[in-house]
Amino acid sequence: MIRSFYFILEKEFKQMMRSKGLVRMLIMMPVIQLLILPMAANYSIKNISLAVVDNDHSEYSRKMIHKITSSGYFKLTAFCRNSQEAFKEVENDHTDLILEIPKNFEKNLVRENNQKLSVQINAIEGVKAGLSGGYLANIITDFNSDIRTRWVQSQGVDEPALVSVAPVNWYNRYMNYYLFIIPGILVTLITGIGMLQTSFNMVKEKEIGTIEQINVTPVKKQAFILGKMVPYFVLSALVFVIGQIVSYLFYNIHSVGSYLTVFVGMCAFLFSLQGFGLLLSTYAESQQQAMSLGFFFMNILNMMSGLYTSIDSMPMWAKVMTGSFPLSHFIRVMRMVMLKGSSIAEVGDHLLIMVGLGIIFNTWAVLHYQKRS
């Protein structure tokens, strides 16, 4: 079996290297994506278009507008005379948010110590709407705190005691967005190679008709399948290493924990991922079918992996589903090791789950392959 496995492995590597364009594409595409995606897929929202309707034209209203526009999050795109004019700006997609300051804003604020503002948000993009509303609320609260402090000091009264909060961000002290997103993006980049290419490689044998010839040879099915998986395991590992180098050179991202733990996690991840790709290939009769199945599952894996949204905020059925995704576990391992410095023991649960999923997927694929054969 070892001798036949060696010859199959030699044949697969030679066949893969003949397609030099494919190999170059599989290496260069993830590198280019790793350079571009972190700069584009950014959770921090800036340059939010703001339309202001100032019905008071007082000193306080001008100071508040200045504080909002100088925060760096908002840009004043329209200074409207009334709310109808501001609504037209929203309808024409020229502004994201309307701030309306009522008449007698300064007078009521000074005399009655109370005043209300109208904030209307374009909620077509839900995440952007929620963040922009939160940014504006924090700025207005800060402005309110400033003017209250000035009143107390101008009246000669001792400043009231305030409770101040000094948050400390563990593992990502300066909330560097790249530290959070790049480990996750790196995982998704090797997902396509590990899952899709493994599936395509197996289905290709069916299309050209060589699978029947191999089945009647003395080659064991286990050796044949393993020989199909190893070349793309090596290629995925190579892309992963190149991605780590690119992350360090261009974004200064390096692992706080041991790189050995990272690569142990990568091996467990690729074992389960290639098993899933192999399983897809047993149900597909052509590369087109394999591609359709692969992209169907790729979209689900990426969107529910925890890369862009927190798994904790998902409903219970979605949490259970993501538990069966190797992608979600390896993203968790990458972030824990690279940001927190976790050891193998601390990420052991995720490693065991990925290995367990790999055993299930590979066993299922081998049994289904034997049944179809």
Residues 210 and 262 in one domain: yes
Residues 7 and 92 in one domain: no
Residues 24 and 76 in one domain: no
Residues 132 and 31 in one domain: no
Of 88, 119, 154, the position where a domain reaches its end is: 154
Instruction: Give the span between the Cα atoms of 64 and 137, in whole angstroms.
Output: 12
Residues 84 and 197 in one domain: no
Could you write out the three-class secondary structure of the chain? CHHHHHHHHHHHHHHHHHCHHHHHHHHHHHHHHHHHHHHHCCCCCCCEEEEEEECCCCHHHHHHHHHHHCCCCEEEEEEECCHHHHHHHHHCCCCCEEEEECCCHHHHHHHCCCCCCEEEECCCCHHHHHHHHHHHHHHHHHHHHHHHHHHHHHCCCCCCCCCCCCCCCCCCCCCCHHHHHHHHHHHHHHHHHHHHHHHHHHHHHHHHCHHHHHHCCCCCHHHHHHHHHHHHHHHHHHHHHHHHHHHHHHHCCCCCCCHHHHHHHHHHHHHHHHHHHHHHHHHCCCHHHHHHHHHHHHHHHHHCCCCCCCHHHCCHHHHHHHCCCHHHHHHHHHHHHHHHCCCCCCCHHHHHHHHHHHHHHHHHHHHHHHHHC
User: Would residue 195 count as lying in a domain?
Assistant: yes
Domain count, the chain: 2
Q: Provide the domain limits for residue 84.
A: 48-154
Mean pLDDT of 165-180: 75
| 8 Å CB contact between 185 and 306 | no
Residues 214 and 306 in one domain: yes
**What is the pLDDT at residue 211?**
66
Q: Nearest 5°: CA angle at 266, between 24 and 273?
A: 80
pLDDT surpassing 50 at residue 161: no
Instruction: Give the span between the Cα atoms of 182 and 338, in whole angstroms.
Output: 10
Give the pair of three-digit tokens for residue 337: 């090791």
Residues 122 and 264 in one domain: no
Mean pLDDT of 260-264: 94
The CATH number for 72's domain is 3.40.1710.10
**What is the pLDDT at residue 163?**
47
Q: CB atoms < 10 A from the CB of 124, how many?
A: 10
Residues 96 and 228 in one domain: no
Task: Residue 360: name the closest of 305, 279, 295 by CA.
Answer: 279
Mean pLDDT of 321-347: 90
Average pLDDT, the chain: 81
Residues 364 and 254 in one domain: yes
pLDDT tens-digit map of 19-48: 767 677 777 877 888 888 777 766 667 788
Highest mean pLDDT pick, 122-136, 138-152, 154-168: 122-136
User: Would residue 147 count as lying in a domain?
Assistant: yes
Residues 226 and 93 in one domain: no
User: Would residue 167 count as lying in a domain?
Assistant: no
Tell which wins on pLDDT, 305 or 3: 305
Residues 17 and 91 in one domain: no
Residues 312 and 192 in one domain: yes
Of 92, 124, 154, the position where a domain reaches its end is: 154
